[in-house]
């Protein structure tokens, strides 16, 4: 494929500027850039409109100086566009997927690889949540009850209890140890765990001990599964 003289001059000039004292690197760089230009011109844009094609090319030229970078950038975007269209074809009528698409477009305007990765991450998180719910929901009440028993058995012998007249009545006090949960964005503390807490939040519950943490709900889940596998404990499945 013939390369325009203006492009050859541009590539040669850039190579000399980048490697003024190294003829061998100049020659290598020119060859690489000429090959990249040919690959750039040969890209298949059949998956997008002419307007989208012009936008991709313009943005690549503005963002990158070398033809190798421009080629790689557009090639990656075209591959992402194809994958996005395949995903959309497989999720027609899926309202949740359509919501992810709108969010992806809002956060990654005209950056198709970013849109694809956003949607893929959303889908991966959603699938993980569904698996967690399928496993934890049948055991949720059991886990909450057992954790409440454990958390209510905390005692601090240094706490002094005074009566209404300021007289010391006793030393030491039992208390309900709080559990911390993560809702996907923020942590929050609970002493009473609601029964309708989502499974993916419940399983994140832990006891903070200074710099240490005890993942109480994950530990209890492991205990239940151990008792089921090794000692025949019958656990609810649905």
Strand-pairing partners, residue 160, are: 171
Same domain, 78 and 47: yes
Residue 235 clears pLDDT 70, i.e. is over it: yes
Q: How many domains does the chain have?
A: 2
At 172 the three-state DSSP class reads: strand
Same domain, 9 and 126: yes
Same domain, 182 and 75: no
Distance of CA 38 to the CA centre of its chain: 37
pLDDT band at 162 (very low <50, low <70, confident <90, very high): low
pLDDT band at 19 (very low <50, low <70, confident <90, very high): very high
Q: Tell me the mean pLDDT in the region 179-193.
A: 95
Same domain, 126 and 178: no
pLDDT, residue 173, reads 66
Domain final residue pick, 98, 130, 162: 130
Cβ neighbours of residue 184 under 8 Å, at least 6 residues apart?
A: 200, 201
Q: Which of 55-59, 153-157, 160-164 has the lowest mean pLDDT?
A: 160-164
Residue at 238 is within a domain: no
pLDDT digits (tens, 9 = 90+) for 87-124: 999 999 999 999 999 999 999 988 999 999 999 999 99
pLDDT digits (tens, 9 = 90+) for 187-209: 999 999 999 999 999 999 999 98
pLDDT band at 174 (very low <50, low <70, confident <90, very high): confident
**Calpha distance 6→154 (Å, rounded):** 79
Per DSSP (E only), the strands in the chain are: 154-162, 168-175, 179-182, 187-190, 207-209, 212-214
First to last CA, the chain: 65
pLDDT, residue 157, reads 64
Domain enclosing residue 103, as ranges: 5-130
pLDDT, residue 190, reads 94
Residue 71 clears pLDDT 60, i.e. is over it: yes
């Amino acid at each position: 494929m013939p390369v325009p003289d203006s492009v050859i001059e541009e590539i040669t000039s850039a190579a000399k500027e980048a490697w003024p004292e190294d003829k061998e690197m100049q020659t290598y760089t020119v060859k690489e850039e000429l090959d990249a230009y040919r690959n750039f011109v040969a890209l298949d844009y059949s998956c997008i409109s002419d307007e989208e094609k012009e936008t991709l090319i313009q943005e690549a030229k503005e963002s990158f100086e070398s033809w190798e970078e421009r080629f790689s950038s557009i090639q990656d975007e075209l591959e992402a566009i194809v994958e996005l269209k395949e995903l959309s074809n497989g999720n027609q009528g899926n309202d949740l997927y359509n919501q992810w698409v709108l969010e992806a477009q809002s956060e990654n305007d005209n950056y198709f690889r970013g849109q694809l990765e956003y949607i893929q991450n959303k889908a991966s998180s959603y699938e993980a949540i569904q698996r967690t719910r399928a496993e934890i929901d049948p055991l949720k009440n059991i886990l909450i009850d057992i954790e409440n028993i454990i958390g209510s058995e905390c005692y601090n012998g240094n706490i002094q209890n005074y009566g209404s007249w300021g007289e010391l009545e006793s030393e030491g006090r039992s208390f309900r140890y709080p559990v911390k949960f993560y809702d996907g964005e923020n942590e929050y503390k609970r002493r009473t765990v609601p029964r309708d807490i989502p499974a993916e939040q419940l399983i994140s519950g832990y006891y903070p001990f200074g710099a240490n943490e005890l993942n109480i709900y994950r530990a209890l889940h492991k205990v239940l599964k151990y008792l089921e596998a090794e000692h025949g404990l019958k656990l609810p499945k649905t």
